[in-house]
Amino acid sequence: MLKLMNADENKSKRLVSLMKKRGFIQPAFELYGGVAGLYDYGPLGGRLRRNVISKWINHWISLGNIVEIDSPTITPEPVLKASGHIGAFNDYASECKFCSSIYRSDHLLEEVHNNPDSLDNLSLDEELSKHKIPCPSCKKSGWLPSEPLNLMFSTTIGASKGGRRAYMRPETAQGMFLQYPSIYRHFRGKLPFGAVQVGKGYRNEISPRQGMIRLREFNMAELEYFIDPQKDIDYNLNSWDHIELKLVPDPINGEIKELKCTIYDAVENKIIRDKTVGWFMIKTFELMIELGINSDLIRFRQHETDEMAHYATDCWDLEIFGSYGWIECVGIANRGCYDLEAHQKVSKTNDLKAWRDYENELEIDKIICSPVQSIIGPHFKGKSKLISNHLETLDALEIKFPYSTTIDGEEITIEENMVEIKEVKSIERGEWFTPHVVEPAFGIDRIIWHILEHSYTEISKENDDYYTILALKNKICPIDFSVYPLFEKDGLDEMAKKIIFSIRDIKGINVNYDGTKSIGRRYARGDEIGVPYAITVDHQTLEDNTVTLRERDSQEQKRMHIEDLLKFISQY
RNA sequence: GCGGAUAUGGUGAAGUGGUAUCACCUGAGGUUUCCAACCUCAUGUCGUGGGUUCAAUUCCCGCUAUCCGCACCA
């Protein structure tokens, strides 16, 4: 496999050149020297990206219980504190007092400490001064207190000094969690349901590498699927029995082993711990094939327990093989109720819950102490509300009067005449609970990169070592049809333009005209950017209204009447 | 972040202390009856800031970016 990668190295260089040359992908801000980790999509890449995103959204929306939402990228600090992004994502950095160089605190201590990664900021500072760690750059020893090295871009909301601290979101998921009440209402409380969001995410990587693979600003597409953990849903997993997935399970019981099996078996045999995760895995696999990823180059890898993010309980990555090796492109995680509960706790609301009907109604007979407000009110004044609440929690059968307790730091006594012992009947039909969340999170840029890599084919033609075909799938490709007049004279060019106008009337089709240079070159130009079909207008067209339709991948041509062509295109 | 290498039209490359060459691509014209043909012409380049110098794309230093290791990240 290593040999294969080396052989492909030049090929992948030629792909990068092509991407730049033809306007798919290029480093951003090149006029100003460029910025690592930031990329532009060009005239063709922009449309490619749009097509991938549309396909992604439709794939999920068509399930019927998924909606699309959108939320801001600028996120106030408390949100990210609640979600755990501030804290868990952090490493500490120390600044040299003398030369202002900044280093990761734990890295400075590597020589003198076994596991500096585990230290908190105070211990880090202590160790640094105890061992008189010198600055690698100026060799003096003296460090300012370590600060969290945050991988998020920070900003301030509001221009004045009192502005609120905020960050560019590191994932789109939080937007879906915060919109949960609205989504819950939309579906009128019927779980399971989900929401998707496509947008930019930001991570201030220390050193982005590997081209499009690690970006500082990237396109993410995330789906949050809210489920009742107690309800067993039948996903009909055996309807995918014709597909064998490559799985690399958590090596918790031994060495890493890749195995092949159907999604049904993987869930049955508990290789995949969560059925819903399994369902999303196979749905995601389907989507990848539709987008043009080579199915042989896809595998799922389960996160090892210590590798799992702070929120997840089970997590599988969809990895795609390309010139950078196996790259994680989708993460499918069961996040449990972590996020919703965290936000409920911090924001002090009760709104992030769902209602579950009991199978059988529960009749509950209770004997309670009902406070007599006309006595308690005047007697305890401001404290009366707290006292009433307390009384309602007591078991009336056990209580003896006068009853003493401490409320709000004060000893109080309840006399018998302050309460009324009542028998109440209540019927409980269900309960509130916090839904669990299964999240498939897609790195769109990484997927696009691999679509391009897997589509990129070089064949040899006479006099041509590298004839390039970008075998993009229909409707993913930026341009769907090209119309070429054999020559731009004798009215062929006008005929071609007439045909283009009729094609443009068909919705959603992007058609392109090219009339310069030889016909062979124009086919080559089209093949190179993945135009699936070329329509050629020749002299015969003027006589009998027929054109030739050339297929990109087979390079075969068929002559057909313009009417039939338009019919073909409208069904394309 | 550390170590090494690199930066020349859109792409891929050559070259020089006196402002740069080639191929492909692109555009115009000609030619051409279906797969990167040919002819003529044309457009377009020394990453960036500073230093040395009469003169720097070339030499030196800083910065930025890219590639390869290591580390980090997922």
Task: Pick A162 or A229 by higher pLDDT.
Answer: A229
Which residue's structure tokens are 């006479």?
A462
CATH number of the domain enclosing A136: 3.30.40.230
Residues forming a β-bridge with A327: A320
Å between CA of A550 and C1' of B36:
17
Q: Is A309 helix (H, G, I), strand (E, B) or coil?
A: coil
- Strand B contacts (CB < 7 A) among A residues 259-288? none
A100 touches strand B (CB under 7 A): no
| pLDDT beyond 80 at A277 | yes
* Shortest-distance nucleotide from A467 CA to C1': B36
Share of chain A above pLDDT 70, in %: 81
A463 vs A340, higher pLDDT? A340
Q: For the ranges A22-26, A29-33, A118-122, which has the lowest average pLDDT?
A: A118-122
Query: How far in angstroms lies nucleotide B5's C1' from the CA of residue A237?
Result: 52
> What are the b/e assignments for A380-394, b being 16+ CB within 10 Å?
beeebeebbebbeee
Q: Which residue has the higher pLDDT, A310 or A523?
A: A523
Q: Is residue A158 part of a domain?
A: no
Mean pLDDT, rounded, of chain A = 85
| In a shared domain, residues A318 and A216 | yes
pLDDT at A347 over 60: yes
Query: Which of A85-89, A267-271, A358-362 shows the highest mean pLDDT?
Result: A267-271
Provide the terminal-to-terminal Cα distance of chain A, rounded to the nearest Å: 38
Residues A242 and A286 placed together within one structural domain of the fold: yes
What is the side-by-side order of every strand in the sheet holding A314-322?
A: A66-68, A193-202, A217-227, A436-443, A325-336, A314-322, A298-302, A245-248, A259-261
Which of residues A372, A397, A430 is at a domain's end?
A430
* Antiparallel, parallel or unpaired: β A217-227 and A259-261: unpaired
DSSP assignment string, A2-33: HHHHHHHHHHHHHHHHHHHHTTSEEETTGGGT
Mean pLDDT (whole number) for A68-89? 85
Question: Which of A's residues 300-329 have CB atoms within 7 A of nucleic strand B?
Answer: 309, 317, 328
Q: Mean pLDDT over residues A537-548, rounded?
A: 94
Residue-wise pLDDT tens digits, A463-472: 566 899 999 9
Q: Looking at the structure, tell me whether residues A49 and A107 fall in a common domain.
A: no
Interval A46-66: pLDDT, tens: 999 999 999 999 999 999 999
The answer to whether residues A104 and A7 belong to one domain is: no
Q: Could you identify the residue whose CA is nearest to the C1' atom of nucleotide B27?
A: A516
Co-location of A60 and A175 in the same domain:
yes
Pair A309, A369 in one domain? no
What was the ipTM of the complex prediction? 0.90
Positions 216-245 of A with beta carbon below 7 A from strand B are: none
Looking at the structure, do residues A322 and A205 belong to the same domain, yes or no? yes
More confident residue, A27 or A123: A27
Looking at the fold, whether A265 and A406 belong to one and the same domain comes out as no
**Are A25 and A70 within one domain?**
yes
Range with lowest mean pLDDT among A37-51, A350-364, A383-397, A555-569:
A383-397
Confirm whether any atom of chain B, the nucleic acid strand, is less than 7 Å from CB of A422: no
Q: What is the 3-state secondary structure (H, E, C) of A385-424?
A: HHHHHHHHCCCCCCCCCCEEEEECCEEEEECHHHEEEEEE
In the prediction, which pLDDT does A464 show?
A: 61
Whether A465 is covered by a domain: the verdict is no
Contact A92, A125 (CB under 8 A): no
pLDDT tens-place string over residues A280-313: 999 999 999 999 999 999 999 998 766 555 556 7
The predicted model gives A186-200 an average pLDDT of 95
List, in sequence order, the alpha helices (H) in A62-136. 77-83, 85-88, 105-108, 121-130
In a domain, A463, yes or no: no
pLDDT at A148 over 80: no
Domain that holds residue A495: 479-571
A91 touches strand B (CB under 7 A): yes
The pLDDT confidence band at residue A10, using thresholds 50, 70 and 90, is confident
Chain B nucleotides reached by a protein CB under 7 Å:
1-2, 10-12, 25-28, 31-38, 47-48, 63-68, 70-74
Q: A304 and A397: one domain?
A: no
